[in-house]
Chains A and B, each alone.
Chain A
């Protein structure tokens, strides 16, 4: 098992290296003159030269790469073009709301979708199952931000049960914190829930046809025991895989959801950076989001070893 985990951890390195090279070369090989575009439409040639110097684009490519890599390995992701603040600090300041929203969504989605999928598989081809599958098809089609506005319209504007937007840190009390996260996490999690529910149902259906399930039923075990202990445990690997795949969906969605709900997290930082064409921030955010995704997927890979002792590759 240690060897398996070690191999998984080392497999992360080339992926992150490619991500880092990608953001480095994207700026250097973008069509046109990125420095001119970042400086703005009516920038003077001095202003463009200043941007170029700030991004280090005026040096030889090899030197640029060396400096950039050296900084990156020391946690230095450059400075923002507009505010001149270090990108690392800007990201650290905005990390909490995004982490809270992503983890809340992850938790809510898994906690809701897995039971829904289990019930659908148990009652396969009955009304409950058809409703769940219908929900799953819709969940793939409705964009998170459109659903967000539908939810806001009913729960916040019409019925005034939940806040329209905003984020309260956990330090201001648990309920205000939770209250502000309910609508965003449902809106963000809808596609994710649909995905997990669908895979849970499919994986459970396959397991429920196995002989040992028939044996368990035949010897008179209670249904919930058979479903949860015998079936779900053996159906877990595909479910966990898709939970990992879906993290990419969550991270892409978080940028948009934060904009809808005015949550001051990394997503908002991204949008502000794009509007000001502040490439160092965008570059830092890509590295952080990709690292988060790779790290969560690493945890999932490692969990396989515990879920299914046969897995060793």
Chain B
């Protein structure tokens, strides 16, 4: 019985992971672009990206998800529940990732840019070769936090009927009248996933850490 519970819910893990693997990298790509524009762009680009961040951080993910699926989908674009959910989570996350990366970019001293320009690098070469490698290292710990938030927020797509972990747990709870077992199993699975992600990123942070101690 317990085994059946688990195996049924575990079938949702791949969807949970798929939603996360769409939302997180999409949010990273968009967030990085926005962070660069906000840090190095002109005054209008700064204002625009700041407004985007403010707006997207002010809307609950599930509300954006409903807007995308029930209002836009079918009228403007054609989105399956899976894509509507993943894309809206990615958009919300991009605003948070933008703020994480912006903070990291700003923490790199201006001298690094000066030194890069002094050996003849263009602004973009300096950003790519000198600023970003340092900023991304700094961003890993806060980014790890955001990654686990997106992973857990992927449960929101359940509201559109996507059969991920939470949706399956809910179905089991309804059919077996065992909510404790069903949601307990779901909680345990989420915990393990988040734990693994955080551990993985901790390892990455450790591996990319720069030596500072004198040899």
To the question of whether A and B form a pair in one complex, the answer is no
Residues of A within 8 A of B (CB): none
